[in-house]
Structure 1
Amino acid sequence: MRILITGGAGFIASHIAERFVRAGHEVTVLDNLSHGDARRIPPQARLLQADLLSPQVGDLFKAWKPEVVCHHAAQIDVSTSLKQPLTDAATNILGTLALLLHCRNHGTRKIIYASSAAVYGTPLYLPVDENHPVKPLSFYGISKHSPEHYIEAYSSLYGLDYTILRYANVYGPRQDPTGEGGVISIFLNKLARGETPVIYGSGNQTRDFIYVQDIVSANAAALTAGSRQTLNVSCNRSTSVNELLHMLCRLSGRTVTPEYKPAQPGDIVHSVLSNRAAAASLNWTPRYSVLEGLKDTLASIGD
């Protein structure tokens, strides 16, 4: 199968590229390398270094005709979305729309779109399922949700198949601890440097943490399943920030006392996503507990 992976030099999608190459697929990675690292791309995959809106992308579609697009390229920094909403929308909304035009014009069968739990906003109930109201709290959440409507419309109007995957809090090897990096990568970076981890709020706030390899297996399943569906990809289990730091200290053999600071404005207190629909539609369940995923992440440091 010919698969185009956008953002394939980044944290999540580089792992997906490795899985797809191992499975024998023909893979091309599209990445402008503004945040990605070309060294993460498997040598069997081709790299097109370009922006989503570049004319080179149309040339690639015309010449190569990908059967599936696995779309992970995005502006993912919430603060950037608030400071530069035009840049955020250009990448996340217009970039996705450009891909959809290419898919329609060149016979792509399916798009797998990486969406986010950020589309839901403050949970009205837990666990959050796919029927939960969508009310994002940031421009980032808006710009991740808007493409879902375009994808659904392209499917209805032009027959493009799709699976939309709304990710919980993803962690694992290669995650960037700077900027809007996940709390796990930030904590690991602090521990490695002998610095004091900072916890905003009481630390009793909870999140649904999912290991990157479980995200990979959901994308692999979506190549042939989950047709025209929007699905949460999560562990369906909550872990507090305090618990998380405790596990990391225990696994790394370090003892630290975190610095507690006031909760950040707009921070959600509790979040957990239901994964029942993904389990049924993709025949998928997460294999890694948080503890197992943390062990693998720690073992990868220095690789």
Structure 2
Amino acid sequence: MNPTVPFPTDPVRRKSYGFVEWFRPGEFDRTEQLLPNILASGAGYLRTHLSWAEYLAPGGEEWFDWLIPRLGSQIDLLPCIHYTPPSMSRTGRSSGAPRDLKSYADFVDHVLTRYGRHFSHIELWNEPNNLLDWDWRDDGDFLLFCEMVGGAAYWAKHRGWKPVLGGPCPFDPYWLNLMGERGVLGVVDAVGFHGFPGTWDSETGTWGGWDMHLGEMRKILDRYNRDAEVWITETGYSTWRSDEMEQARRFVKALSVPADRMYWYSWCDVPPDVPVQEGLWFDPRHYHLGAVTHDYQPKLLARLLMEGGVSRLEDVTQLATPNLSAGAAPVVVTGGSGFIGSNLADSFLQEGEDVVILDNLSRPGVDQNLAWLTERHGKRVHPVLADVRDLRSIEAAFSDAKAVFHFAAQTAVTTSLAHPIDDFEANARGTVNVLEAVRKAGKNAPVIFASTNKVYGALEDLKMLEVEDRYIPANEGVRSHGIGEDRPLDFCTPYGCSKGVADQYVLDYAKSYSIPTAVLRMSCIYGPRQFGTEDQGWVAHFLIRALSGEPISIYGNGKQVRDILHVDDAVQAYRAVLSNIAEVKGEVFNLGGGPLNAVSILAVLEEIEKLAGHPLETGFGDWRAGDQYYFVADTRKLERQLGWQARVRWQSGLRHLGEWLADNRFDGRSRRRQKQKVRA
């Protein structure tokens, strides 16, 4: 790189990036699982290790004979050759120098001959100034390292490949200058840099910033090899506190720094049962550096990259623009970019209120709701892109709050069954974090919590009658009015348990700490700004599938009954509770459409078929765990104490949602088709 020409730091121009991923011998299935998604993320590079010690271990040669061609045929591959076979090491450890220093160059030569057609660059050792990777106690002046790596680099360059010197960790300009004095920098084409600002490097301590450290590096390289490139061979951010938005921001920042390549560490979290390095097993930061979880669930970074690459990532990370003026007393809506949260926030914003939107944007599509709020209401929208599981990152959002609506949650029963610990952390711990943040703020702000009818369990004791298209309760009182708040709690499924725990904590904070709280146990809410999925938001999901002409899956026989409630009515209920919080402090209300909006799944599908204007393709599967045959909320307590009523009837509400989806998700195409059929 010519040092007189400024390096392009505009992130829009710096689109190329790579990932680091170590594959252990025998991980054939894991490799095949990860590689397509790494490619789908838009990555152009992949850095992986080619362990000398593992290669010479039983089965090692066969493993790398499969791995290197498999990776190199799909992506620009950078193999990192390190770790001495213990039998050849001076210390008996893989971090020790080989007894015969030339044997490392011989192995590099073997790798180039055997695999060289699959890559152009080859990295020589990893973190050579780190005791865990290079035992400098027996090589205090790095003479052994310089002779070993310098010889291997010279030979690789002679044979036509481009050697890369492994990055020091932590960065040490004195060590790098020593490599220049010893001649190593003169025979490499690039030098790696490792830096993890915000995870291990303190930004107020040892970390001086990208510009400072890379500037030092460039200055040293210019003394010994002006043509050598600067590569960030490892950078990343651990989400061990669930701050996925910060990881996404750090990725965008790393793309803009003055380096010729950037490799993000890593694509996938380390499984919790795998030791990272000796002595580091219990440091949680090591296990959460990936863009996806250890069981391959995308974090925000991976999801955004796979949705639209760097431009999509930049758009979302730039949504957070805190601008709350001194003395403002905002309404805080956690999960405020979600379906109900965004509609509620909009109602306050229309009245001139400042609203803090606290959301981690983990649900696909909800960033569109945040953008919609910002476009409509400008500076009165205050995004705080954080996760309720991370108390430290959310506390400031509640410091001046005059009211809090808590919607942020893991919302799917199916997800809770697959990941019960994550479900607990989001729903139970996240709720306690919100309550504690409000308590610490000391303003006694009301907290109104979105609970669920799932806290009543599967209602298996209710005798049901099966009629033509639905189930109805045999008990005439339940049939006439629905399920009341006096129904005993019976938590079922991890989701029901986590929401139930949160429900009870919210009520108890009114008793134990005199915080004005209330709970709304909701039935099925539907309406505009809902991005429904098969697991949650079934009314919108059915409509989306129907308007797309795609098949609809039904679990059970479709005769399950729910009292679906339009979101406009739900918003009015939440606002009514806030307006009367002094009178209803510590109380719980069931919230749903009530008996007048009680419909079976089959009835909803029949109405959707009319709206779509074509027959629906449906399929039936097994019942899901905890699924209720019947749930209709008895809303008489809400009506009696707060004067609230459900005003939108389900047929007109369904039509309203269909029109919104047609205009906002299908560019009006479905609505035009419906009009054409009417004219025909």
The answer, yes or no, to whether TM exceeds 0.5 is yes
Within the alignment, does 1:290 sit opposite 2:643 as a pair? no
Q: What aligned pairs does 1:199-214 form with structure 2 within 5 A after superposition?
A: 199-214=554-569
Within the alignment, does 1:100 sit opposite 2:447 as a pair? no
Deviates more, 1:243-252 or 1:179-188: 179-188
Counterpart contact for 1:208–1:272, Cα < 8 Å:
yes
- 1:234 match: 592
- 1:248 match: 608
- 1:22 match: 350
CA spacing shift, 1:82–1:154, aligned 2, 3 Å: same
RMSD: 1.7
Aligned partners of 2:627 and 2:502: how far apart in 1?
24
CA spacing shift, 1:132–1:28, aligned 2, 3 Å: same
Aligned partners of 2:539 and 2:522: how far apart in 1?
16
Deviates more, 1:78-87 or 1:259-268: 259-268
Within the alignment, does 1:11 sit opposite 2:339 as a pair? yes
Which deviations, in whole Å up to 9, do the C-alpha atoms of 1:19-57 show, x marking residues without a partner?
011122221110011113132434331100011124232
Which deviations, in whole Å up to 9, do the C-alpha atoms of 1:151-187 show, x marking residues without a partner?
2222112210012011101111222233513221221
Between 1 and 2, higher relative CO (CA 8 Å, sep ≥ 6) is seen in: 1
Counterpart contact for 1:175–1:181, Cα < 8 Å:
no
Aligned partners of 1:280 and 1:255: how far apart in 2?
42
Q: CA deviation at 1:8?
A: 0.3
Q: 3-state SS of the aligned residue for 1:80? A: helix
- 2:515 match: 160
Counterpart contact for 2:336–2:359, Cα < 8 Å:
yes
Which deviations, in whole Å up to 9, do the C-alpha atoms of 1:204-244 show, x marking residues without a partner?
22111111111111111111123321001111122011110
Residue type matched to 1:20 in 2?
A: F
Q: CA deviation at 1:7?
A: 0.3
Counterpart contact for 2:506–2:518, Cα < 8 Å:
no
- 1:115 match: 451
Deviates more, 1:46-55 or 1:112-121: 46-55
Within the alignment, does 1:71 sit opposite 2:406 as a pair? yes
Residue type matched to 2:431 in 1?
A: T
| Count of equivalent residues | 301
Counterpart contact for 1:20–1:27, Cα < 8 Å:
yes
Deviates more, 1:177-186 or 1:154-163: 177-186
Which deviations, in whole Å up to 9, do the C-alpha atoms of 1:229-278 show, x marking residues without a partner?
10011111220111101111112322235333343344321111111111
- 1:34 match: 362
Aligned partners of 1:77 and 1:268: how far apart in 2?
15
Within the alignment, does 1:80 sit opposite 2:415 as a pair? yes
Aligned partners of 2:345 and 2:491: how far apart in 1?
29
Aligned partners of 2:541 and 2:391: how far apart in 1?
33
Q: What aligned pairs does 1:45-194 form with structure 2 within 5 A after superposition?
A: 45-52=381-388, 53-62=390-399, 65-106=400-441, 107-123=443-459, 124-125=461-462, 126=478, 127-194=482-549
Counterpart contact for 1:9–1:40, Cα < 8 Å:
no
CA spacing shift, 1:194–1:5, aligned 2, 3 Å: same
Gaps of 5+ in 1: none
Of 652, 659, 664, the residue aligned with 1:299 is 659
Aligned partners of 1:252 and 1:219: how far apart in 2?
32
Residue type matched to 1:290 in 2?
A: W
Residue type matched to 1:31 in 2?
A: D
Aligned partners of 2:387 and 2:373: how far apart in 1?
17
Counterpart contact for 2:411–2:536, Cα < 8 Å:
no
- 1:267 match: 627
Aligned partners of 1:194 and 1:145: how far apart in 2?
37
Scaled by the length of structure 2, the TM-score of the pair is 0.43
Greater Rg, structure 1 or structure 2? Answer: 2
Aligned partners of 2:604 and 2:449: how far apart in 1?
29
- 2:112 match: none
Q: CA deviation at 1:198?
A: 2.6
- 1:223 match: 578
Which deviations, in whole Å up to 9, do the C-alpha atoms of 1:188-212 show, x marking residues without a partner?
1221221232323322221111111
Q: 3-state SS of the aligned residue for 1:254? A: coil
Aligned partners of 2:358 and 2:622: how far apart in 1?
40
Aligned partners of 2:602 and 2:651: how far apart in 1?
14
CA spacing shift, 1:195–1:20, aligned 2, 3 Å: same
CA spacing shift, 1:3–1:250, aligned 2, 3 Å: same
Aligned partners of 1:288 and 1:67: how far apart in 2?
30
Scaled by the length of structure 1, the TM-score of the pair is 0.93
Aligned partners of 1:265 and 1:154: how far apart in 2?
31
Q: Percent identity?
A: 30
Counterpart contact for 1:8–1:41, Cα < 8 Å:
no
Counterpart contact for 1:66–1:108, Cα < 8 Å:
no
Aligned partners of 1:23 and 1:151: how far apart in 2?
27
Aligned partners of 1:219 and 1:247: how far apart in 2?
28
Counterpart contact for 1:172–1:297, Cα < 8 Å:
yes
Q: 3-state SS of the aligned residue for 2:630? A: coil
